[in-house]
Amino acid sequence: MGEPIREDRVLVLGGGIAGLVAAWELHRAGVAVELLEARDRVGGRLWTSDEYGPFPVELGAEFIHGDRVITWRFLRMFGLRAIDDPSQDRRFVGANGRILPSGELSRPVGEAIFAPLSQAAEAWFASGEPDTDLATAHRGWASRQGITITPELWELWETLAAIGWSADLAEIGAAGEVEATYEGDGWRNWRIVEGQQALARRIAEELGSVIRLGSAVSRVEWGNEGVRVWASDGEHRGRWAIVALPLGVLQAGTIEFVPELPEPLREAIDRLLPGRSLKMVVEFTYDPWGPEIGCLFVTTPHGIWERPGLGFAAPEPVFSLLTGGRDAARLGALPPEQAVREVVQALGAVLGQELTGRVRRAQVIDWTRDPWCRGGYSVVPPGGAGLRARFGQPIGDRLVFAGEHTSVVRPSTVHGAIESGLRAAEQIRALRSATAAGA
């Protein structure tokens, strides 16, 4: 690397919530920080639109998952508010092109419908059998419980996998699901009144000139002398670096690490799945489903329709669809107009209405094809338990990793990403203290 780097600076790579929190925590402690973000905005997968009405429409992360998670601490610090999501008490299921009759799956459903996913994984793990995928675990669990798996029930489980894991059941490892306990988080969902991205913006305001937007990293050199980063806006130097880039970006190989990262970490990057996630926002010319339905789980495509304005004084008929796994990949490969037409036709079939000509405007957000994200939520495949934990320790006393994919207990969540940013900042403080003690 050449001569030692004398600047006592920490480089933070990535301006999603994990990188922002890490940079903010160090900055307020008086540590020199420089944050490099490839986009022209901060927040990463926290991205909010205010173009549809007097309420936030989330193009990325939608909810605060739980009433006891660390996100609340940050909302209080930055003067943000949240409302209990009213749709979770008015959830319905549409499968195979219809709303299922009352007494089957069309009744309102709450978070308890996720229970079979966890129960099946835990039962398989407890059996001592080698790790397997959730599809296999579910079939075994249902058989032992005496549950007949109807086509509708199986498609619903596939829907839950698509929206909760951005993957198909056959891609998700049972042991990896057991690792992610989310212990103590709580089950209620909440919406940030000002929008998810508002939290990222408030943190960015305190960081100020520390942030470098439009700085796409291409090469990271690290060693005893420090860290040098080559980006689209030039070279950046520091003693340490926090790598808070999404798993999909690390996996794509567009960033060169010199020397290579240790083999166990490279294996974790290669084997974890970045997930596939797609969102669609559709504004209709009228309200197609009325006040009874808060949100609608659907199986064509596997996903969930939400109403972002629910709970706000907003009559606009704006709806959003979240889908994942193979359906996200398939829809993302279509021209946006065709993808919108397909999902609107499917929704119309469920509701018994012709909706194709009633679309005022629509937007497709394909996170899998976003070059600065390249995926949805990270997924542990069968046999992959323990891979997330490999991101937990500093590499060569120079590199520290953060992001939802580095959280063992709370992956795939904003609060898991926040916790990882705080952990990364604490690790940097420890490295700085060790360096000072050895000077």
> Which of these, 217, 168, 181, 246, lies nearest to 406 by C-alpha position?
246
| Pairing of the two strands 32-37 and 211-213 | parallel
CA–CA separation, 22 and 268 (whole Å):
22
> What's the whole-number mean pLDDT along residues 310-318?
87
| Per-residue CA distances from 45 to 158, 346, 366, 404 (Å) | 23, 27, 11, 11
With contact defined as beta carbons under 8 Å apart, do 230 and 238 qualify?
Answer: no
Tokens matching residue 143: 């058989």
In the predicted structure, residue 108 carries a pLDDT above the cut 50: no
| pLDDT score of 237 | 97
CA–CA separation, 142 and 146 (whole Å):
6
> What's the whole-number mean pLDDT along residues 50-63?
96
| pLDDT score of 314 | 76
Place of tokens 């970045």: 274
Strand extents, DSSP E, 38-116: 48-49, 57-58, 64-65, 82-84, 91-95, 98-99
Place of tokens 């420089």: 34
Task: Tell me phi and psi for residue 175, to 5 degrees.
Answer: -65, -35
Q: Which of 132-146, 215-229, 409-423 has the lowest mean pLDDT?
A: 132-146
| Per-residue CA distances from 363 to 3, 59, 282, 318, 331 (Å) | 50, 9, 7, 11, 13
Q: What is the CATH number of domain 9-44+194-272+379-438?
A: 3.50.50.60
What pLDDT digit, counting tens, does each position of 230-247 carry?
Answer: 999 999 999 999 999 999
> Hey, which residues does 99 pair with through a beta bridge?
94
> What's the whole-number mean pLDDT along residues 115-128?
86
Question: Using N-to-C axis directions, what is the helix angle for 196-207 and 17-27, rounded to 10°?
Answer: 30
Q: What angle do CA 288, 109, 131 make, to 5 degrees?
A: 120
What pLDDT digit, counting tens, does each position of 140-192 carry?
Answer: 988 888 888 888 888 888 999 999 999 999 999 999 999 999 999 998 999 99
Domain boundaries, the chain: 9-44+194-272+379-438, 111-179
Predicted confidence band of residue 305 (pLDDT cuts 50, 70, 90): very high
With contact defined as beta carbons under 8 Å apart, do 171 and 329 qualify?
Answer: no
Within 240-367, where are the H helices?
Answer: 247-252, 263-271, 325-332, 336-351
What pLDDT digit, counting tens, does each position of 378-410 carry?
Answer: 999 999 999 999 999 999 999 999 999 999 999
> What's the whole-number mean pLDDT along residues 288-315?
89
Classify each residue of 348-377 as buried b or exposed e, where b means 16 or more C-beta atoms within 10 Å of its C-beta: bbbbeeebeebeeebbbbbbbbbebbbbbb
Tokens matching residue 325: 């796994």
What pLDDT digit, counting tens, does each position of 332-377 carry?
Answer: 999 999 999 999 999 999 999 999 999 999 999 999 999 999 999 9
> What's the whole-number mean pLDDT along residues 109-123?
70
What pLDDT digit, counting tens, does each position of 290-302 carry?
Answer: 888 888 999 999 9
| pLDDT score of 96 | 61
